[in-house]
Structures are given as structure tokens and as C-alpha cells.
Amino acid sequence: MRAKSGYRRLYVSDDLDRLYGEYLWQLCEAGADLATADFDTAYVFVNLGREPRFASWSPDSVYDLVRRLRSQLAGQVPGGWTPHWFRHSHATALLLSGVPVHVVSRRLGHADVQTTLNTYAHVTEDAELRAVADWAKFTAGWRAVGTGVIGPC
């Protein structure tokens, strides 16, 4: 995947890989592989119903489509829903499921893990509070014994 900082590898689920493969086959059936010199490195979002056919969408085009979808689906999607929302939701889900922050940082392409920590501090704070609550539940049955040592009974 091409990113601001250059090319990097992006790992995806088997389902997403299958869906993307189907999408590429549909593009080939429509002639994209013949019409596009760099089809192997082409963009994900391309013109299908207008000219120039198979040209990449600009970021503004993607955001315009999302704005139209948001108005059509008013009340069904969050008001602030943007393409970037998927990135934040993914990172939040990873952190809440216990994926180490340095792994999430690499997945997001952050040059410095501090960027991830600053952006997702609220998530890591929530996880910390949950960990304390879980620890309290775990130790609720513990009691002090005559030796002064605290441990499970």
C-alpha cells in the first residue's frame, strides 16, 4: 500500500482479501487491466461510470461520495462519519481488544508510537480503567492470612 511515508505492507482479513479479489476480477472483465498501464499498482477507488474510465478518485471525490451517502442514510450512520472514521474505529477496536499500542501504531503507519498514544489516549485510559475493574473483580475473593501474605484462597 502506498502511504504518505512510502510503500508499506497492509495485512487484511481473508474475507477482505477475497472481496478485493472479486472486485479486481470485475475490473478486469470491464477492461481495466488493458486500459490501465499500471493496473497492478492502481488505486482502490476508480471511475467506473464516467470518464476518464478507471482513473483514480481524488480524496475529495471519496469524501463527496461519503457526504452523499451520509445524507441519504441520515439517522442510520453517525453524523460525523467520514472515510477516516473507519481508520479510527479500527484502531480503537484493536486497542480495546488488547493489541499492543506499538503494533497498532505500525498498522496505522505512524512514524512514532507517541502519535498513536496521543491520538488514542482516551482508548488506552478506558482500557486501563477496565483493567483495574477486572483486577478488582479477580481479587475480590482474596483475603489476608496469618502470614501477612495476600493471595487466593
Q: What is the pLDDT of residues 94-148, one digit of tens each?
A: 998 889 999 999 999 999 999 999 998 888 777 777 777 877 777 777 765 555 5
Residues 143 and 108 in one domain: yes
Q: List the domain range (segments joined by +) for residue 124.
A: 81-153
Report the C-alpha gap between 96 and 106 in whole angstroms.
16
pLDDT digits (tens, 9 = 90+) for 72-84: 988 888 878 888 8
Say if residue 143 is in the same domain as residue 95.
Answer: yes
Residues 95, 144 within the same domain: yes
103 part of a folded domain:
yes
Indicate if 92 and 49 belong to the same structural domain. no
Q: For the whole prediction, is pTM greater than 0.75? A: no
Domain membership of residue 66 (yes or no) is no
* Residue 65 maps to a domain: no
Residue 67 lies in a domain: no
Q: What total of structural domains would you count in the chain?
A: 2
Rounded distance between C-alpha atoms, residue 112 and residue 115, angstroms: 6
Check whether residue 143 and residue 87 sit in a common domain: yes
CA 20 remoteness from chain centre: 16
- Same domain? For 129 and 92 the reply is yes
Nearest one of 46, 16, 50 to 32, comparing CA atoms: 46
Q: What percent of the chain has pLDDT over 90?
A: 20
Domain-terminating residue out of 57, 89, 105: 57
Q: Residues 6 or more apart from 45 whose CB is under 8 A from it? A: 56, 57, 61, 62
Peptide bond into 59 cis (omega under 30): no
